[in-house]
Amino acid sequence: MEFLRNTSRTSATTEHGSWHKWADVCILIFINFCNYNDRYSLAGILIDVQAEFDIRNEAAGLIQTLFIVPYTLSAPVFGFFGDRYNRKYILAFGVGLWNAATVACSFSNTYWLFLLFRSVMGLGQACFTTVSPSIISDLFVGDRRSRLLAIFYTAIPVGNGMAYVVGAQATELLGTWRWSLRVPVFVGVMNVLLILLVLRHPQRGEVEGRHMSATPWTKDLVYLLTNKSFMFCTLGFTAVAFTAGVTTWWAPKLNVLGFRLHRPDVNQYTESSLFGIVSMVSGFLGLLIGYVATFRAKESYPPVDPLVCAVGLVISAPLMTGATYASMSDRITTYALLFGGFVFMNLNWALTVDICMNVVVPSRRALAMGMQLLIGHTFGDAGSPSLTGLISDRLYDHYQEVEEKETNEFYSLQHAYFLGMAVELLAGVFFFLNAAFIMKDLLKIDEGAQNEEQAEAAKSQAK
């Protein structure tokens, strides 16, 4: 595995003003958009997928759960390798794997085979999501790093929104939901080639004036578990991931069910596309507002990052809840409330990663991302789509004695959906706690990095 290891040749990419750095970041940002587009393309056409495989909401939620479970379990493994080996080749492997699995999903003729390939897709995306932020952090520092991470994470709302539009329109135009999985793969092949032929691999910590080597995995783990800012940030991320798992997977279907109570002829593909556009624009706006609100203030008042996250989530939850009630009577009000809810929810995505990168020393950042993904998705969106589906199925069976089928289907999913809104409020609490500890932990970073550098220097002299 020697060819995977860092070499001195890669240090040239960290020279100030190098065009390679900007090319590298553009490649990673573009692939991240593809990442989230491929992940959620099924959500806008979930009704079609359920009809073809003849499955209820619980089984439909399992499609996303069995994507997230291998995604989360493999994230620390990729983080371990990402802190020790050449990340360029690790990324190429991950992107190639997820695109191959996506094609295989589109040709699966049984529900269980589809779940198998969906799980493999999760492995490939975990590889990319875990390793890529650490490359950006090793190319830039300070405000520029924060700005680029904010752009990188616009892929969450914008990529998700694109997924609804691409999925719905490809299905309507080509006659089957399977083409919504096949079309993006052509771009996936190009992405693998960009990684192998263009992307460079920066030396860890050099852009910050630090030359740090990997430390024992057990020591890294103890460091992260005792880092209060990292842990509260991770708990907040976990709760947001739980809510996002509910909204991204079930909100398009819930909208259609609500609209059909007063407009039986509603076109589900049109509504899924509109939902995608709303989530795309509002998500981008939320990330922009989050960045602008914290850009200057964080230098003099570092707790501003977690405080903005907390306030945004507390405002978002009632707006998202109100949208479910509005869908029963007014379409415009529904999308207006969703727009506001998504703006405030999306304040946090880039800020969360920025907090993580800033409170963790460079030699442990890839593992930190892996651990955050493991905890966040295992207890967040790994279970929330299927749990929401399970609750809605049980409520449906209970309500069917007193409600008509269409009304019952909406109310059962709506009431299960409220669980995600309650957890969103809990996420706000965790970010308030994060704000209470971040100043102290930021002061420890320079001290910890200096200690590691001194230990490394002493080790080199001893040799």
Q: Model confidence over 379-406: pLDDT tens digits?
A: 988 889 999 999 999 998 887 766 677 7
Between these two residues, 268 and 296, which has the higher pLDDT value?
268
More confident residue, 203 or 184: 184
Query: Is the Cα dihedral 285, 289, 290, 295 positive or negative?
Result: positive
Place of tokens 């920025």: 354
What does the alpha-carbon distance between residue 385 and residue 63 come to, in Å, rounded to a whole number? 9
Residue range 319-355, pLDDT digits in tens: 999 999 999 999 999 999 999 999 999 888 778 877 8
Instruction: Give dist(CA 161, CA 284) in Å, integer.
Output: 10
What is the share, in percent, of the chain residues with pLDDT greater than 90?
A: 31
DSSP designation for 176: S
* Cα–Cα distance for residue pair 337/315, rounded to 1 Å: 11
- Contact at 8 Å (CB) between 134 and 366? yes
Token pair listed for 352 = 């969360």
- Distance (Å, rounded) from C-alpha 89 to C-alpha 86? 6
What tokens does 211 get? Answer: 């030359």
| Nearest partner of 126 among 160, 161, 97, 164, judged by Cα | 97
163 contacts 37 by C-beta, under 8 angstroms: yes
- Is 117 in contact with 136 (CB distance < 8 Å)? no
- Looking at every residue in the chain, the average pLDDT score rounds to 83
- CA–CA distance, 97 with 101 (Å, rounded to integer): 6
Region 215-233: mean pLDDT is 82
Average pLDDT for 247-258: 92
What is the per-residue pLDDT across 4-34, written as a single tens digit (0 to 9) for each? 444 434 433 344 447 777 888 888 989 998 9
- Do 350 and 284 meet the contact criterion of CB atoms below 8 Å apart? no
Backbone dihedral angles phi then psi of residue 113, each to the nearest 5 degrees: -70, -40
Q: Are 204 and 212 in contact (CB under 8 A)?
A: yes
C-alpha 383/C-alpha 210 separation (Å) is 40
Report DSSP letters for 331-374, one per residue: HHHHHHHHHHHHHHHTTSHHHHHHHHHHHS-GGGHHHHHHHHHH
- The fourth-level CATH superfamily of domain 13-462 is MFS general substrate transporter like domains (1.20.1250.20)
141, 16 in Cβ contact below 8 A? no
| CA atoms in the 13 A half-sphere facing the CB of 265 | 0
Q: Is-contact 34 191, C-beta < 8 A? A: yes
User: What is the token pair recorded at 148?
Assistant: 């680029």
Locate the domains of the chain by residue range: 13-462
Count Cβ atoms below 10 Å from residue 332 Cβ, excluding itself: 8
Residue 115 pLDDT greater than 90, yes or no = yes
Q: What is the CA radius of gyration of the chain?
A: 22
Q: Which amino acid is at 256?
A: V
